[in-house]
């Protein structure tokens, strides 16, 4: 029969694309429960789903930051039966740590880390009972490697990776699979929202040099990297579909081969010096010469630092 897939954060970006791709599956193998905080934002998804809406795709409200909302949502699913849970909802946060208030940092953890924990806690017991299920988590390359001025976002994804690494062992005993998807940059509202937040920033508590490194060195390089290396949300949706359709799903799934050297460096030098120094040089020495940075990364990708990724095709 049809597999019930519940996805969080479907009003935009990657979540929307996964919902549409699965709902439009030619063999109609999926019953998609696309969830979002605010159903008033459903139009883009409904339009993209076309005929599938009301057939293989239905909507439910769900805020991953609320115990109440998560409980209500899962209780309203028939028999609470979910075959595949896709934890996609997430928020970004960019800027010098000195100038970010604790409340904003906690909000990121509340969504990216505790949001995932809350969902898994609610759905996992039924999966364990049935000795079947697949939990997918949208992590990031930044769940594996820290990136300058993304300190808090990176920490939230690391926290989640640690949680999943621990959970995966126990779940295996119950025949429940756990997979993380680790995209590099993806062109979604995520990027736009962060840039809008940055434009409003006033940097209280940060010194002039730090602000300059952030605004004049980091931001332009980051924009170039997004443009040169970014994937589409459709790409990530295709990778995710591959992961859930795999008979033996992999635990970690990088989606962008251009980013694999970053991860390889970390494992190549356990002292951490190689990663820290390479990032330092990329930002402060090559940053302004982005085309050189790109060629270096592309070269590394062709060498022994290439690692297996999951490709959209
Ligand atoms: P997006 O902003 O388009 O989508 C995120 C979605 O999560 C939005 O629809 C938002 O409304 C929703 N959301 C936020 N807080 C929520 C909450 N409390 N409850 C329910 N939904 C909530 O961005 P995206 O790029 O599609 O991001 C999806 C996931 O992919 C995130 O977890 C993000 O960290 C991850 N990711 C994104 C990129 C990228 O470059 N865009 C790269 C790697 C990983």
Ligand 1 mean position, distance from CA 16 (Å): 10
The pLDDT value recorded for residue 154 is 98
Ligand 1 mean position, distance from CA 92 (Å): 8
ipTM: 0.99
pLDDT at 48 over 60: yes
CB atoms within 10 A of CB 223: 14
Ligand 1 mean position, distance from CA 9 (Å): 6
Give the active site residue among 153, 213, 218, 259: 153
The pLDDT value recorded for residue 306 is 62
User: Which residue out of 6, 41, 90, 182 has the highest number of ligand 1 atoms within 8 Å of its CB and is therefore the one to mutate?
Assistant: 90
Ligand 1 mean position, distance from CA 12 (Å): 8
Q: pLDDT for 153-168, tens place per residue?
A: 999 999 999 999 999 9
**Of 123, 134, 38, residue with least CA distance to 79:** 123
Q: What is the mean pLDDT of residues 257-265?
A: 85
Alpha helices in 29-176 (DSSP H): 43-49, 67-75, 102-112, 114-130, 151-173
The pLDDT value recorded for residue 292 is 65
**Chain centre to alpha carbon of residue 57:** 22
Give yes or no: 280 in active site. Answer: no
What gap in Å lies between CA 144 and CA 251, rounded to an integer?
13
Nearest CA to ligand 1 atom 10: 9
Handedness of CA 271, 272, 273, 278 (dihedral sign): positive
Nearest CA to ligand 1 atom 41: 186
Question: Locate tokens 């062109």: which residue?
Answer: 187
Give the tokens for residue 69: 């909302």
Q: pLDDT-based confidence at 42, cuts 50/70/90?
A: very high
Q: What is the mean pLDDT of residues 98-121?
A: 97
Long-range CB contacts (within 8 A, 24+) of 139-143: 139/164, 139/180, 139/181, 139/182, 140/182, 140/183, 140/184, 141/182, 141/183, 141/184, 141/254, 141/256, 141/259, 141/262, 141/263, 143/180, 143/182
Mean pLDDT over all residues of the chain? 92
Q: Are 30 and 22 in contact (CB under 8 A)?
A: yes
pLDDT at 219 over 70: yes
Shortest-distance atom of ligand 1 to CA 233: 26
Work out the percent of the chain whose per-residue pLDDT is above 70: 93
Shortest-distance atom of ligand 1 to CA 112: 32
**Of 282 and 45, more confident:** 45
User: Which residue out of 14, 189, 194, 252 has the highest number of ligand 1 atoms within 8 Å of its CB and is therefore the one to mutate?
Assistant: 14
Ligand 1 mean position, distance from CA 139 (Å): 10
Question: What kind of architecture, by CATH, is found in domain 3-256?
Answer: 3-Layer(aba) Sandwich (3.40)
Ligand 1 mean position, distance from CA 156 (Å): 13
Nearest CA to ligand 1 atom 34: 90
Which of 29-38, 53-62, 239-248, 297-306 has the lowest average pLDDT?
297-306
Shortest-distance atom of ligand 1 to CA 11: 9
pLDDT at 289 over 90: no
Nearest CA to ligand 1 atom 30: 138
Shortest-distance atom of ligand 1 to CA 189: 3
CB atoms within 10 A of CB 121: 12
Instruction: Spell out which residues line ligand 1, taking CB within 6 angstroms.
Output: 8-9, 11-15, 36-37, 63-65, 88-91, 111, 115, 138, 140, 183, 185-186, 188-191, 193, 233
User: 36 vs 88, 209, 312, CA distance in Å?
Assistant: 10, 40, 25
Residue boundaries of the structural domains of the chain: 3-256
**Chain centre to alpha carbon of residue 298:** 23
Ligand 1 mean position, distance from CA 271 (Å): 32
Shortest-distance atom of ligand 1 to CA 15: 26
pLDDT at 305 over 60: no
User: 90 vs 13, 87, 293, CA distance in Å?
Assistant: 11, 9, 29
Q: pLDDT for 3-13, tens place per residue?
A: 999 999 999 99
pLDDT at 41 over 90: yes
The pLDDT value recorded for residue 198 is 84
The pLDDT value recorded for residue 54 is 97
């Amino acid at each position: 029969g049809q597999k019930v897939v519940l996805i969080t954060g479907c009003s935009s970006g990657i979540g929307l694309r996964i919902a549409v791709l699965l709902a439009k599956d030619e063999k109609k193998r999926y019953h998609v429960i696309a969830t979002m905080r605010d159903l008033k934002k459903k139009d883009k998804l409904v339009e993209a789903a076309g005929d599938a809406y009301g057939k293989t795709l239905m909507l439910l409200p769900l805020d991953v930051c609320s115990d109440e909302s998560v409980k209500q949502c899962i209780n309203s699913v028939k028999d609470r039966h979910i075959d595949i849970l896709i934890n996609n909802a997430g928020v970004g946060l960019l800027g010098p740590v000195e100038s970010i208030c604790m409340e904003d940092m906690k909000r990121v953890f509340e969504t990216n880390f505790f949001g995932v924990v809350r969902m898994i806690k609610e759905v996992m017991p039924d999966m364990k009972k049935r000795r079947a299920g697949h939990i997918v988590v949208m992590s990031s390359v930044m769940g594996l490697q820290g990136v300058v001025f993304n300190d808090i976002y990176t920490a939230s994804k690391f926290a989640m990776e640690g949680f999943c690494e621990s959970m995966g062992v126990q779940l295996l005993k119950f025949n429940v699979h756990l997979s993380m998807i680790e995209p590099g940059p993806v062109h979604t509202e995520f990027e736009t929202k962060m840039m809008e937040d940055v434009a409003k920033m006033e940097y209280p508590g940060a010194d002039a040099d730090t602000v300059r490194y952030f605004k004049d060195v980091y931001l332009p390089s980051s924009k170039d990297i997004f443009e040169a290396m970014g994937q589409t949300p459709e790409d990530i949706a295709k990778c995710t579909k591959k992961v859930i359709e795999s008979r033996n799903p992999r635990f970690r799934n990088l989606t962008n081969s251009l980013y694999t050297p970053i991860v390889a460096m970390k494992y190549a030098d356990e002292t951490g010096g190689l990663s820290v120094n390479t990032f330092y040089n990329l930002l402060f020495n090559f940053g302004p010469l982005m085309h050189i940075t790109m060629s270096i990364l592309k070269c590394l990708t062709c060498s022994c630092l290439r690692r297996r990724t999951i490709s959209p095709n």
